[in-house]
Structure 1
């Protein structure tokens, strides 16, 4: 049983190396909690991008929609400065756009915790 679990862990880590880049993706969601879908990026993608577009007109209660995606390039910040109704952020680590570009999570840590939780569940259930 332990050999199977170790083999499974090794396989998961190898898959991560074969497809090392993942980002959160969504299109025009009103809440960050609705932008938690993980997607494997294409080989040429090097960035996770978060775009917040202002859609509300009330200055006291600004309303935004959030889109997240993989991208081969990071949008030029100089182009975005002229668009005050849109904020674009990008980052270069897997799953780093969980809360925009400021997150420092790495996919290795997230993957390790997920595998550890799975192994603990399996052992607790006696499967």
Structure 2
């Protein structure tokens, strides 16, 4: 079993984009630690997206909500709406939106843990 899991993990890390594409998903969470649900994306989805909205009312104490999703396109990257500051981060690798503030880069250690967690999740749910 360990050999199979290690082989599968190595294959996932070596393949640029394995199908099905997977991303972290959540809706308007106040903390990134509450925003780590793994989801299989639709066939047409190519991006993992993280949207961070500043909803704080005090200028020196920002408050954010985070949403993550799969998407076939990368939405407009940053925009200001009324008094809400919205940041959008897109990335094109499985589980690349693990970080709550920047989806452009993630460390290989975090990526490894994310892939390992997703494989464990898939095996646990498949039985």
Same fold (TM over 0.5): yes
Query: What's the offset of the Cα at 1:102?
Result: 3.2
Partner in structure 1 of residue 24 of structure 2: 24
- Deviation at 1:64? 0.8
Structure 1 position 63 matched with structure 2 position 58: no
CA RMSD in angstroms, aligned pairs only: 3.3
Computing the radius of gyration from Cα coordinates, the structure with the larger value is: 1
Counterpart CA distance in 2 for 1:113 and 1:48 is: 18
**When you count strand as a share of all residues, which structure comes out higher?**
2
Structure with greater helix percent:
1
| Offset at residue 7 of structure 1 (A) | 4.8
Structure 1 partner of 2:104? 102
Question: Cα deviation per residue 1:1-54 (whole Å; 9 max; x = unaligned)?
Answer: xxx55456667758x9441x1111100000010001111111100001111111
Call closer, same or farther: CA 1:8–1:33 in 2, change over 3 Å: closer
Shift of the alpha carbon at 1:103?
3.5
Distance (whole Å) between structure 2 residues aligned to residue 63 and residue 54 of structure 1: 6
Quickly say closer, same or farther: Cα 1:7–1:25, change in 2 above 3 A.
same
In 2: Cα distance, 1:67 partner to 1:43 partner: 21
5+ long unaligned stretches in structure 2: 121-127
TM-score, structure 1 as length reference: 0.68
Distance across 1 between alignment mates of 2:30 and 2:114: 27
1:96–1:105: 8 Å Cα contact kept in structure 2? no
